[in-house]
Amino acid sequence: MSSVLTVSQINTYLKSVLDGDDNLQHIFVCGEISNFTNHYRTGHFYFTLKDESAALKAVMFRTAAQRLRFLPENGMRVIIRGSISLFPRDGVYQLYCEDMQPDGAGALSIAFEQRKAKLEAMGMFDESRKKPIPVCPSRIGVITSPTGAAIHDILTVLERRFPLAQVVICGVQVQGDSAAGQIAQAIERFNALQAADVLIVGRGGGSIEDLWAFNEEIVAHAIFNSDIPVISAVGHETDFTIADFVADLRAPTPSAAAELAVPDTRELLFELDALYDNLTGLVEEKLLTLSQETALLSHRLRQNSPQRRLDLLDAALDRERERLNRCGAALTKPYDDALQAFAQRLEMASPLKTLGRGYTLCEDETGALVRRAAETKTGQALRVRFADGTARCTVEDVQTQEA
């Protein structure tokens, strides 16, 4: 007679059967992920792996999940390494995943695209938040391997193009597990000390695994939060990393980053010469214009000066005076002629004229004119006026004639 088994006994037995089957241990299973659940609190992944006609429950515990470079998604085709076992509590057999790889594109490529989409959705690639690169930086910070070819290329270009700038180098690992943390810390330290006007962050070319440190979120956030403008210079021209999208400027190579970070001294000198010639021409043209304007204003000033006005008025006054004199002369000429004629007649009738012909005038002491001898008496004093003077006389004898 068969014994009665409990559910737990049956499930435990089935689990032991499955666990003891070598064909179900360390197997590889391919399929499409569906019903994916990420338990963020525990870190475990739960999902169903299916193909065209069947489905298999699967679980990936946190220890294995932390090793993945990408985040599984519904609809993703994957190849899983693991084993089949039974979960006694539910009586459900499932695939316990130890590793997972995308079926087709590599895990790093998928992780890159997922991270790129995530950070882009956060606005970390927006052109509006990118800072301009200074035209003539005084100090240039370089974050890269101190022994790689990139640092040599950067220093060579900086020395050739703009030797006036000071170069501050912070050597870091550029690949490996600790590389991302060192790169992020270097960016933060440059900002804390304000040790540069612009940063060049990068390395030489390599595989996607070699460049992976520049795809880590810690580096992306350090670049995004940097107050100092950042030029990303990772790999070769065809290599793109998350750092390239977050940086304020992407350079295809480290050498190109140095070219973009500083101006060319020779070009600056050429531009300065051109500006000097242009400025000299403008100054000379301006001086000529001002000289012409000054001459014109000086002429206008002379034309409108008070002295010139006075001179013009004085000349006009002279002309009016002459005209007035002519008019006056014309008006007075008849009177002058008449006066002259009258004067001539008066002169002809003047006693002085008569005296000039030998006649004299006789006056008494009061100045009264004595016209007749009868008006005199003996001993009377008289004054006799001649044409050239007078003579005082005393009457000695008076003789009269009968009329």
- pLDDT of amino acid 402: 65
Report d(CA 368, CA 385) in Å as an integer: 12
Please state the rounded mean pLDDT for residues 338-352: 74
Report d(CA 187, CA 222) in Å as an integer: 6
Residues 6+ apart with CB under 8 A from 173: 145, 179, 182, 213
Q: Is 283 exposed, middle or buried (0-12, 13-18, 19+ CB in 10 A)?
A: exposed
Question: What DSSP line would sit under 65-84, residue for residue?
Answer: HTT-SS---TT-EEEEEEEE
SS3 state of residue 99: strand
- pLDDT of amino acid 329: 77
pLDDT digits (tens, 9 = 90+) for 38-87: 988 888 999 999 988 899 999 999 999 988 877 888 878 888 889 999 98
pLDDT class of 106 with cuts at 50, 70, 90: low
Residues 6+ apart with CB under 8 A from 401: 373
pLDDT digits (tens, 9 = 90+) for 224-265: 999 999 999 997 777 789 999 999 999 989 999 999 999 998
- pLDDT of amino acid 173: 94
Residues 6+ apart with CB under 8 A from 200: 140, 141, 142, 143, 144, 154, 231, 233, 251, 254, 257, 258, 261
Whole-prediction pTM value? 0.54
CATH class of the domain at 126-263:
alpha beta
Q: Give the mean pLDDT of the chain.
A: 87
Domain ranges of the chain: 7-104, 126-263, 354-394
Torsion sign over Cα 19, 24, 25, 28: negative
- pLDDT of amino acid 330: 78
Report d(CA 246, CA 126) in Å as an integer: 8
pLDDT digits (tens, 9 = 90+) for 125-154: 999 999 999 999 999 999 999 998 899 999
Torsion on CA atoms 281, 285, 290, 296, rounded to nearest 10: 160
Report d(CA 38, CA 45) in Å as an integer: 5
Q: Which two tokens stand for residue 231?
A: 């030029």
- Given a cut of 70, is residue 356 above it in pLDDT? no
pLDDT digits (tens, 9 = 90+) for 276-317: 999 999 999 999 999 998 888 888 877 777 877 787 788 888
E-assigned strand segments in 103-240: 139-144, 166-171, 198-203, 230-234
Please state the rounded mean pLDDT for residues 17-39: 88
- pLDDT of amino acid 351: 67
Q: Which CATH architecture has domain 7-104?
A: Beta Barrel (2.40)
Is there a contact between 271 and 169 (Cβ–Cβ < 8 Å)? Answer: no
E-assigned strand segments in 188-326: 198-203, 230-234, 249-250
- pLDDT of amino acid 159: 93
